[in-house]
């Protein structure tokens, strides 16, 4: 019998300490440390009397099983793109997102799509009763799909149910925060419980070759509540994001052992569930007003996919001693940098002005390639002159004011051309590989040259 002990576990980051403290030393969170009982080690490892022999195979000559392809595709193109070409057998995924964003809707639709293709799928809900899940499936027009439903929260019961039958291709657990195992004494929802339960389920997936999808809620500050520890256990972490004011949702991969990260899938929430958006640029540019100053279209890149996004800036005289800078959807430190470069290298002063920057559609951009579009929007708003409506911008701005090349200029230009743009401002360095498009690409070396051209 394993030794029982009392430990103190941070519910935010999962750090374990021997003593209680008001603030977690590891993540700095206040009031997050809770006393927990652990039995059989943290996470409740498997306790077995006798050991069994494992199997060792050589890498050379290792062949995939021809009958069972390694990946199962849902044929929902936006989902398959994010998973890197379909769910990998025996892998575990964590799908995180704010409550109410549409995680359950997405997964019941994915389960139905797989079941319709003849794969055995099981959807286990710890949050809703079977009747409620069925009601939702009926609303989504999926009631005829052969998805097996269960409402269960005990890991032991779930495993017993799954083991009674042939292992399914896909098991969805909604959500990981509701799971509990009697291997550990902590109450459900605590880090110890979540970790132990997830571990047991991941072990099941690896052993049987089923794909496991765990759903996790995200807290206010954007962390998957408690189960950040789960992120290390799974093969892929996908975030489902979007904001309440817009109908579209983005599924983003932040970790993927079997595919590229930063890949996105775009969906739209409608009365009949989530619909795929095949052409997101058109969606994000849909509400554009083409003749107002301060708007510039950025030809961006999300994962491997080019995406056109409108950047909006408002520069207004400030009554304050320290003018206000507010940013939505971009990095505020990066905005300060662009303002400083415009001031120091191009002589454009913003020190008497409030600056507001917004990425249209509630999208968040992490790419430095947006620098040029931001600079264009800022200068346009300050001067009151609208930028040409048929033009896109991309390029990274360095502290010296030089414009640096970015990745995949070709696909950005092609996307812009596809959406009817006929002009682009981009780094000169990107034009070495001759543009294959009919678009007029203006190569730029310095931010100063650019300002001279647009004003
Ligand atoms: P849900 O999938 O329950 O969110 P989560 O599992 O992430 O908590 O989604 C709930 C929201 O989605 C709810 O606010 C209503 C909306 N919704 C639609 O707009 N259309 C639909 O067809 C469905 C099923 C939900
Ligand atoms: Mg849900």
Render pLDDT for 191-220 as a digit per residue (tens, 0 to 9). Answer: 888 888 999 999 999 999 999 999 988 765
Q: Name the closest ligand to CA 137.
A: 1
Ligand 1 near 269 CB (within 6 A)? yes
Q: Which residue has the higher pLDDT, 148 or 282?
A: 148
Q: Beta-carbon neighbour count of residue 398 at 10 Å?
A: 15
Q: Which CATH class is domain 283-454?
A: alpha beta
> CA 270, CA 286: separation in Å to the nearest integer?
17
Token pair 């929260």 is found at 153
438 is in an annotated binding site: no
**Residue 121: closest CA among 141, 95, 150:** 150
Ligand 1 near 118 CB (within 6 A)? no
Would you state the pLDDT for residue 28?
A: 85
What is the b/e burial string over 369-391, where b = at least 16 CB atoms within 10 angstroms of the residue's CB?
bbbbbbbbbbbbbbbeebbeeeb
- CB-based contact 357:377 (threshold 8 Å): yes
Would you state the pLDDT for residue 5?
A: 74
Would you state the pLDDT for residue 44?
A: 44
Residue nearest to atom 9 of ligand 1 (CA): 102
**Residue 146: closest CA among 165, 118, 169, 167:** 118
187 is in an annotated binding site: no
What separation in Å is there between the alpha carbon of 188 and the centre of ligand 2?
17
The DSSP output letter for 428 is G
User: Does residue 314 sit in helix, strand or coil?
Assistant: strand
- Both tokens of 74, joined, read 């849902």
pLDDT at 53 over 90: no
Q: Beta-carbon neighbour count of residue 197 at 10 Å?
A: 31
165 is in an annotated binding site: no
Long-range contacts of 224-227 (CB under 8 A, 24+ apart): 224/94, 224/96, 225/177, 226/11, 226/12, 226/14, 226/177, 226/189, 226/190, 226/191, 226/194, 227/94, 227/176, 227/177, 227/191, 227/194, 227/195, 227/198
What separation in Å is there between the alpha carbon of 76 and the centre of ligand 2?
20
What separation in Å is there between the alpha carbon of 78 and the centre of ligand 2?
20
The chain-wide mean pLDDT, for the chain, equals 87
Out of 100, 141, 175, 273, mutate this one to test ligand 1's pocket (max ligand atoms within 8 Å of CB): namely 100
Residue nearest to atom 14 of ligand 1 (CA): 100
**Domain boundaries of the chain, sorted by first residue:** 1-41, 70-278, 283-454
Q: Beta-carbon neighbour count of residue 139 at 10 Å?
A: 13
* pLDDT tens-digit readout, 404-436: 999 989 889 989 998 889 999 999 998 876 656
What separation in Å is there between the alpha carbon of 102 and the centre of ligand 1?
4
98 is in an annotated binding site: yes
Q: Beta-carbon neighbour count of residue 140 at 10 Å?
A: 17
What separation in Å is there between the alpha carbon of 274 and the centre of ligand 1?
9
Q: Name the closest ligand to CA 105.
A: 1
Out of 105, 143, 215, 250, mutate this one to test ligand 1's pocket (max ligand atoms within 8 Å of CB): namely 105
Q: Which atom of ligand 1 is nearest to the CA of 175?
A: 6
Helix (H) or strand (E) holding 156: helix 155-163
Q: Name the closest ligand to CA 103.
A: 1
Q: How confident is the model at residue 42 (pLDDT cuts 50, 70, 90)?
A: very low
Residue nearest to atom 15 of ligand 1 (CA): 100
Mean pLDDT of 162-169: 93
Residue nearest to atom 12 of ligand 1 (CA): 102
Q: Which atom of ligand 1 is nearest to the CA of 140?
A: 22
Would you state the pLDDT for residue 32?
A: 81
- For the four alpha carbons of 384, 388, 392 and 393, in that order, the dihedral sign comes to negative
- CB-based contact 71:85 (threshold 8 Å): yes
Q: How confident is the model at residue 68 (pLDDT cuts 50, 70, 90)?
A: low
Please count the CA atoms within 13 angstroms of the CA of 361 that sit on its side-chain side. Answer: 25
> CA 424, CA 392: separation in Å to the nearest integer?
5
Q: Which CATH class is domain 70-278?
A: alpha beta
What separation in Å is there between the alpha carbon of 245 and the centre of ligand 1?
14
Q: Which residues are CB-neighbours of 327 under 8 A, at least 6 positions away?
A: 335, 356, 357, 358
102 is in an annotated binding site: yes
> CA 369, CA 297: separation in Å to the nearest integer?
12
Q: Beta-carbon neighbour count of residue 293 at 10 Å?
A: 17
* pLDDT tens-digit readout, 225-250: 555 678 888 999 999 988 767 788 98
Q: Name the closest ligand to CA 142.
A: 1
- For the four alpha carbons of 313, 319, 323 and 325, in that order, the dihedral sign comes to negative
- CB-based contact 309:361 (threshold 8 Å): yes
Q: Which residues are CB-neighbours of 124 under 8 A, at least 6 positions away?
A: 149, 150, 151, 152, 158, 171, 172, 173, 174
pLDDT at 356 over 90: yes
What separation in Å is there between the alpha carbon of 178 and the centre of ligand 1?
19
Cis peptide bond prior to 175, omega within 30° of 0: yes
Would you state the pLDDT for residue 436?
A: 63
Would you state the pLDDT for residue 48?
A: 54
Residue by residue, what is the 3-state secondary structure of 344-359? Answer: HHHCCCCCCEEEEEEE
Burial zone of 331 (CB within 10 Å; 0-12 exposed, 13-18 middle, 19+ buried)? middle
Would you state the pLDDT for residue 128?
A: 92
Ligand 1 near 105 CB (within 6 A)? yes
What separation in Å is there between the alpha carbon of 330 and the centre of ligand 2?
29
What separation in Å is there between the alpha carbon of 101 and the centre of ligand 1?
6
User: Does residue 336 sit in helix, strand or coil?
Assistant: helix
> CA 331, CA 245: separation in Å to the nearest integer?
21
Ligand 1 near 101 CB (within 6 A)? yes
């Amino acid at each position: 019998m394993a030794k029982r002990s009392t430990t103190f576990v941070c519910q935010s980051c999962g750090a374990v300490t021997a003593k209680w403290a008001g603030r977690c030393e590891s993540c700095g969170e206040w009031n997050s440390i809770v006393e927990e009982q652990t039995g059989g080690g943290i996470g409740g490892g498997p306790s077995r009397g006798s050991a069994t022999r494992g199997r060792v195979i050589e890498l050379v000559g290792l062949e995939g099983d021809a009958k069972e392809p390694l990946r199962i595709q849902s044929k929902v193109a936006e989902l398959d793109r994010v998973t890197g070409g379909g769910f990998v057998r025996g892998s575990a995924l964590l799908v995180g997102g704010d409550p109410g964003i549409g995680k359950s809707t997405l997964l019941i639709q994915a389960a139905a799509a797989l079941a319709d293709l003849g794969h055995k799928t099981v959807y286990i809900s710890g949050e809703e009763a079977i009747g409620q899940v069925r009601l939702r499936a009926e609303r989504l027009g999926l009631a005829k799909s052969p998805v097996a439903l269960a409402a269960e929260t005990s890991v032991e019961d779930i495993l017993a149910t799954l083991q009674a039958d042939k292992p399914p291709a896909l098991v969805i657990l909604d959500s990981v925060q509701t799971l509990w195992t009697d291997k550990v004494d902590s109450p459900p929802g605590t880090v110890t419980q979540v970790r132990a339960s997830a571990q047991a389920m991941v072990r099941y997936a690896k052993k049987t070759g089923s794909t496991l999808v765990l759903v996790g809620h995200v807290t206010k500050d954007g962390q998957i509540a408690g189960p950040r520890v789960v992120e290390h256990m799974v093969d892929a972490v996908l975030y489902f994001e979007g904001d309440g004011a817009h109908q579209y949702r983005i599924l983003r991969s932040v970790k993927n052992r079997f595919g590229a990260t930063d890949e996105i899938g775009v969906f739209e929430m409608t009365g009949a569930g989530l619909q795929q958006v095949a052409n997101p640029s058109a969606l994000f540019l849909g509400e554009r007003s083409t003749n107002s100053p301060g708007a510039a279209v950025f030809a961006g890149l999300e994962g491997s996919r080019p995406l056109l996004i409108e950047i909006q800036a408002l520069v207004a005289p400030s009554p304050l001693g320290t003018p206000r800078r507010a940013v939505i959807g971009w990095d505020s430190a990066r905005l300060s940098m662009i303002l400083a470069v415009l001031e120091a290298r191009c002589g454009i002063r913003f020190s008497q002005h409030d600056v507001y920057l917004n990425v249209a559609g509630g999208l968040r951009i992490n790419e430095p390639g947006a620098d040029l579009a931001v600079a264009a929007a800022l200068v346009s708003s300050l001067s009151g002159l609208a930028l040409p409506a048929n033009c896109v911008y991309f390029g990274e701005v360095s502290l010296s004011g030089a414009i640096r090349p970015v990745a995949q200029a070709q696909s950005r230009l092609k996307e812009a051309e596809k959406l009817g743009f006929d002009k682009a401002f981009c780094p000169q360095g990107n034009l070495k590989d001759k543009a294959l498009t009919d678009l007029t690409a203006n190569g730029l070396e310095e931010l100063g040259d650019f300002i001279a051209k647009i004003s």
